[in-house]
Structure formats: C-alpha cells, structure tokens
Amino acid sequence: MFLENIKHGSPRKGWIEVVCGSMFSGKTEELIRRLKRAQFAKQKVEIFKPQIDTRYDDVKVVSHQGNEIHSTPVPASANILLLANDVDVIGIDEAQFFDMELPNVCNQLADSGVRVIVAGLDMDYLGKPFGPMPQLLACAEYVTKVHAICMECGNLAHVSHRKILNNNLVLLGETDSYEPLCRDCYNKAMSRP
C-alpha cells in the first residue's frame, strides 16, 4: 500500500522507534513527549497500552512524574492493527507485556507509512530480555536506551530489581516492589540469600 503525505505531496515513509530501559528511567515520559510533539504538529496520533496495565489509570498512559496522554487499552497486539486507521503516528507503551506478534504488527504499520514509537522494559527483573522487546530492538530504525539512577550507589541503573518475593514474570508494581540498580549493585542484591 502506497500512502501519500497530503501536506507535502511526497510518499509517506514509516519507521519504528524504541525507547527502552529499566523502571524509573523515563521511558513513558519520553514516549509522551514525542507523541505530544506529533499532536502539536497536527499529526494524527493513536496511543495503545496493554489492557493489564491499570497502575495509574485504566485508559491513560501515565508517567511516574504524572504526565499523561489518552490511550486505548488492548488485550493483544493484533487489536492495534484493527484500531489504527488513518494515522500518522502510533504510540505503544509497556511493550514488554504484549504478545510476540507485536514486532510483526509494528513492522506492518511502519511498512504502511506510519511512524511507530514503542516504549518498554528491555529486561525483566532477572536481567533477561523481556517479551517482544529483543525483536523490536532488532528491527527498529531508532533505539533510545534511557537509564535510571541506582538506588544503592548513584551510578546509572539499567536493571529493575524486584524487592519482594514473587516469581511471576509479570508483576505490576512501583517503588514498593521495584528499584533501579546498576550492574554491580544488582549482582550483589541477587547474591544475597
């Protein structure tokens, strides 16, 4: 499908941007910033998040700093294709919670001329690649890795350390359940009994 950019008369070109990092690193803040800039430029924007993410709001994407933007919660990545009609930019938050079809969905959108901006954790609480994020990072044209500050030593943090005992891969939580740690502090925390 060949789409025309109405404003400039040139072919629309799509691409994928991924913003990744640990919890409390500013991923959602950056996603919201990029989406609001696109809205300011009068581009048609749609934002999606996984239906299971209800931490701050059932519908809105909300950053830890309280910035927010309206979104559509969806149960699966295929729903994004069904709901993304006549848009210039698609935003997807908490991508790690989506199914493994998300990279295909993002590629289809980008191939049809849509700018796709995805934010998510690149690693789970065990420091392993999380859900569809590795595939998204591999096929994205632009990758931004943001960092939190280590709660133990003040260095750059890249891991979301789980502070409570729970072996479920998906555990929604905030500072009561997680803390950002650097590599050294994470390794020390994981070696404690």
Residues 119, 20: contact at Cβ < 8 Å? yes
Residues 53, 94: contact at Cβ < 8 Å? yes
Length reported for the chain: 193
The answer to whether residue 141 is catalytic is no
Q: How far apart are CA 118 and CA 145, in angstroms?
A: 12
Residues 6+ apart with CB under 8 A from 154: none
Q: Which of 17, 46, 94, 179 is catalytic?
A: 94
Residues with active-site annotation: 94
